[in-house]
Every structure is written in C-alpha cells, then in structure tokens.
C-alpha cells in the first residue's frame, strides 16, 4: 500500500524524471538511516559461481548505470546488486524520449543506449560505497566503437572493474546499440569469449583472486542459437550466464499505442519468452554452468518459476518499478517455499 502511493506520485513525472527522483529519494533515505527501519535482507543463502549470496534475488543492471546509488539500493534487501551497463568512455545514449511506461501491461519499453558516465566514474563510485555484499558490474561497448573492435572495449572495462567486482556481466544483448547482438553468434562470439577469458586469467594472476564472468543473452534467439551459445560458454569456461535481456518483440502489447516505439520491451509481457529461452538454455547446459534468470518477474510466483526452470539466481528490474521493495521479500519467500 505504501509503495503504491509513492508510485502514483512518481508516475506523474516522465519515466526518466521519475527514475532519477526515486533514486535520489532512496539515497536521502539511506543517508538518514530510514531505509534500515523498514527493510532488511531476507536470508536464503546460496552459493553460485563460487560466491556466497545472502539470498537469490538480485537487482538487474540498468537501474543504477553509474554506481551512484549502491548503498541505497543494497539497503532494500537484495541478495546482490548489479550496476551498469558501463562503457569505456562516457556517452549520452539515444535521444529523449527513450523510456516508456505501459502500466496497463505492467511493461516498459526502453531505448536508452548505454547512457553512462564512463567506467572511470563508476569505479570511483564503487570505491566510495560502503556496501560489502555481492556486487556485479555490467560492461558494454561504446556506440562509436565498430562492432569488429568490440572486444577491445570489453577488455578495457574488465581491466578497470575487475578488482572491485564480485562478478562481471558481459552485455552483448541490448537491442539499443547497433550491431551489439551480432556478438552472440558465430566467430564473433567465440573470439570475444576467448579474449575475455585470457584477460580474466591475467587479472586473476595479477590481483591474486578470481572474479567470475557471466554473459547476458537476448530472449530473441532461435533454438539453434541457444544451443550454440551454451556450447561456446562451456568450451570457453565462462562462469555464468544471464537470461535474458529485453525483447524486440511486442507480444502482449500489440494493440497498445506505445507498441510502435523502438527499443527493448521488459516486464510482464516478456515473461513467457524469457522463460522459454531460460528453460532451453538450462536444458542445453545440463547443469554445467549456472544461469541467472531475469525477465518478467512481477511477483513471488514468477520468481519461483525461474528457479523451477533451472535458474540458480534471479534478478528483477521492471517488476521492482511497478511493485517496489516488497517484491524482494515476496520473491525470496516464494523461492524458499519451493525448495
């Protein structure tokens, strides 16, 4: 009830304005010590990728692109936080408007385009944060970097964030950077994985500790693409995979006016497609690599469905926008009830 009232106020603002207003309000609440009066981290310990998570429900990348609000978001009870996507150089992203709410479908369309202040800014923010829990850092390529040179951007970001991350997520599945999704197929995919693993090995030796790599994939894949991705992930000893990003499809919102807006669709309409991709991926991997399930989690039941499909962890984003922090507790309890 409390969050529904706050949401009504926030939804009177434009989506991007309400995004920033909500994060700033959380930061103030955390600074004043108010968040800890209302929220705590539900306990449901799980170990994935060699990392101990206090519970399996995390925040997906995209909400805190620059790492400016780590402590505030962590205070809400997430088992882990993923920040980014961050690129080597700052970039503005796509022109506004680029974020669209569809409340009647509990959905969001975004074409943000990796707007961020660059990896150096993010690293400085991580250094300032007090949070000592599980922190994922999601990395991408700059829009101006040719796709054939994309590995250079990913390696650059990995080198910058390695010592500050619990794990590093490699975003090759956003639909809002031209050519990015082509990195999921063919030799471009295997070449990228090879370079990232070589960089990871160098950094592990240099820093004296191993930081896992997880690759984030799209839901808009054919079955043969999913099988190819699974085999390449295993062959290159990638530590985890995140399924899925947003979809370019419009199933579930075809009759709504905003369906014609370009960008990735998230929220309730993504659930069926994301779950299908997740299940096929888990089937192809056969337990060889852990999967983080994300896409369409709007309540505890849909979080538990991801785990039943084979996920080891889940992440929320759009469901968090619509349902607020109570979704974290609901998701943890629903997962606990099925295990």
User: Catalytic site residues?
Assistant: 174
Residue 74 phi/psi, 5-degree rounding, is -65, -30
> Is 135 strand, coil or helix?
strand
- Is 227 exposed, middle or buried, given 0-12, 13-18 or 19+ CB atoms closer than 10 A? middle
Phi, psi of 116 (to 5 degrees): -165, 170
Contact 172, 119 (CB under 8 A): no
Written as one string, the DSSP assignment of 235-290 is HTT--EEEE---BS--TT-TTSGGGGS-SEEEEGGGHHHHHHHHHHHHHHHTTSS-
Q: How far is CA 121 from CA 7, 94, 118, in A?
A: 30, 20, 6
CA-to-CA distance for 158 and 139, rounded, in angstroms? 7
User: Distance between CA atoms of 329 and 314, rounded to whole angstroms?
Assistant: 13
Widest CA span of the chain, in angstroms? Answer: 54
Phi-psi map region of 91: left, alpha, beta (phi>0 left; psi -120 to 50 alpha): beta
Characterize the bridge pairing of strands 80-86 and 57-59. parallel
| Closest CA relative to residue 315, chosen from 221, 226, 214 | 214
H or E segment at 104?
none
- Residue 99, SS3 per DSSP: strand
């Amino acid at each position: 009830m409390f969050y529904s009232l706050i949401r009504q106020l926030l939804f009177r603002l434009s989506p991007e304005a309400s995004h920033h207003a909500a994060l700033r309000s959380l930061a103030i609440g955390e600074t004043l010590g108010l968040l800890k009066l209302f929220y705590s981290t539900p306990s449901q310990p799980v170990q994935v990728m060699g990392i101990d998570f206090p519970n399996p429900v995390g925040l997906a990348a995209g909400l805190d692109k620059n790492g400016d609000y780590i402590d505030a978001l962590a205070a809400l009870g997430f088992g882990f936080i993923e920040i980014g996507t961050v690129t080597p150089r700052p970039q503005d992203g796509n022109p506004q408007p680029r974020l669209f709410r569809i409340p009647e479908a509990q959905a969001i369309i975004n074409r943000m385009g990796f707007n961020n202040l660059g990896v150096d800014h993010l690293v400085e923010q991580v250094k300032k944060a007090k949070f000592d829990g599980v922190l994922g850092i999601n990395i991408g390529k700059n829009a101006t970097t040719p796709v054939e040179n994309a590995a250079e951007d990913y390696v650059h970001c990995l080198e910058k964030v390695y010592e500050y991350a619990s794990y590093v997520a490699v975003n090759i599945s956003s639909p809002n950077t031209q050519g990015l999704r082509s990195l999921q197929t063919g030799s471009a995919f295997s070449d990228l994985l090879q370079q990232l693993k070589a960089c990871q090995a160098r950094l592990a030796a240099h820093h004296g500790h191993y930081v896992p790599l997880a690759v984030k994939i799209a839901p808009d894949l054919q079955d043969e693409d999913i099988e190819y991705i699974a085999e390449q992930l295993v062959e290159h000893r990638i530590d985890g995979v995140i399924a899925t990003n947003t979809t370019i499809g419009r199933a579930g919102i075809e009759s709504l006016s905003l369906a014609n807006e370009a960008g990735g669709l998230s929220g309730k309409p993504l659930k069926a497609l994301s779950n299908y991709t997740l299940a096929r991926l888990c089937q192809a991997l056969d337990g060889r690599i852990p999967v983080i399930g994300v896409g369409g989690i709007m309540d505890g039941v849909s979080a538990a469905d991801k785990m039943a499909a084979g996920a080891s962890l889940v992440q929320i984003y759009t469901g968090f926008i619509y349902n607020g922090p109570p979704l974290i507790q609901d998701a943890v309890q629903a997962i606990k009830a099925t295990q």
